[in-house]
Amino acid sequence: MRPKELAALFTLAALWGGSFLFIRVAAPALGPLPLAAGRVALAALLLWGGMRALGQRPALRVRARELLVLGALNAALPFTLVGTAELRLTASLAAMLNATVPLWGALFAAVWLGERMTPRRAAGLLLGVVGVGVLVGWSPITMTAGTILSIGAILVATCSYALAGVYAKRRLAGVPASTLALGQQIGALAWLAAPALWRLPHAHATRPAALALLALAVLSTAVAYVLYFHLVAAVGPTKTSTVTYLLPLFGMGWGAIFLGEPLTAGMVAGLVIVIGSVLLVNDVRLGEIAWRWASRVPDARAYLTR
């Protein structure tokens, strides 16, 4: 991966990690449903305007049914669940729990895509369960029924994200990235519009909430998806998926810096365990990665073998 793509990867992680900060600010004022609907509506307008400016005309009607499903799995459902959960959870904890997406993805790929479940992957899945337990058990949040339900909502959201990836691979292979990006937002809005209008009278559009919604739609959705699909095209989906390892670190950092959220040793330990489990599940071998990178640096390989 060249420095240009590496910078894009870190920028994407920062933008997606920031989404938990923006949701934590906006959800209590606007409500989860209006927030999710506003996010996808603004993002869809931005993406549509950008595509028209570039002379692109995505064929949405041809795959309308599949895009509707994708919008539900990859946006409408998880956006609403995360917004609901962050009424009680910190942005830091929500971002850390989001690191479980690749674990669900490996499980679904084994079931529906026929990918082999090796002992290494099975051990990674079990380790991921342990990591979530450490994250939840050692977090500074008081464990009430509402908190437990909120944690469950985040895990269902990560499950939905992973399921969306498998669905897109099976049913939307070959569809242009721009069509997927725009179609997903429009599909999500179709699901969210009526419930959001029903809850709209309860929303309080404060200035911080409005700014957080704007940042969420522009930075963490529209711009982030442009970067994401650029990376997929430039370096492939496997390398792009490594953003998952960085996202919780940025989410944790933004929450601590801007919201003053506490970070405990237990939370960090839980995050390390979850990331370790993701590395196992995805068969990522850090030694091989270091060796490949070193091979591009003069005399570095000789230094490593000393």
pLDDT confidence tier of residue 304, bands split at 50, 70 and 90: very low
- Give the span between the Cα atoms of 207 and 222, in whole angstroms: 21
8 Å CB contact between 183 and 67 = yes
Residue 189: predicted pLDDT: 97
8 Å CB contact between 76 and 240 = no
All structural domains of the chain with their residue ranges: 3-304
Please choose, from the candidates 138, 96, 103, the residue with its C-alpha nearest in 3D space to the C-alpha of residue 123: 103
> What residues contact residue 292 under an 8 Å CB cut-off, 6+ apart?
none
Q: Which helix (H) or strand (E) holds 284?
A: none
Q: Give the pLDDT confidence of 40-99 residue by residue, as tens digits.
A: 999 999 999 988 888 888 878 889 999 999 999 999 999 999 999 999 999 989 988 888
The pTM (predicted TM-score) of the whole model is: 0.85
Tokens linked to 302: 């000789």
| DSSP helix, strand, coil percent of the chain (3-state; round to 5) | 80, 0, 20
Q: Give the pLDDT confidence of 240-283 residue by residue, as tens digits.
A: 766 777 888 888 889 989 999 888 888 888 888 888 887 787 66
Please choose, from the candidates 71, 66, 128, 130, the residue with its C-alpha nearest in 3D space to the C-alpha of residue 101: 128
- Give the span between the Cα atoms of 116 and 107, in whole angstroms: 10
Q: What percentage of residues in the chain have a pLDDT greater than 90?
A: 41
8 Å CB contact between 173 and 21 = no
Average per-residue pLDDT for the chain: 84
pLDDT confidence tier of residue 298, bands split at 50, 70 and 90: low
8 Å CB contact between 227 and 15 = yes
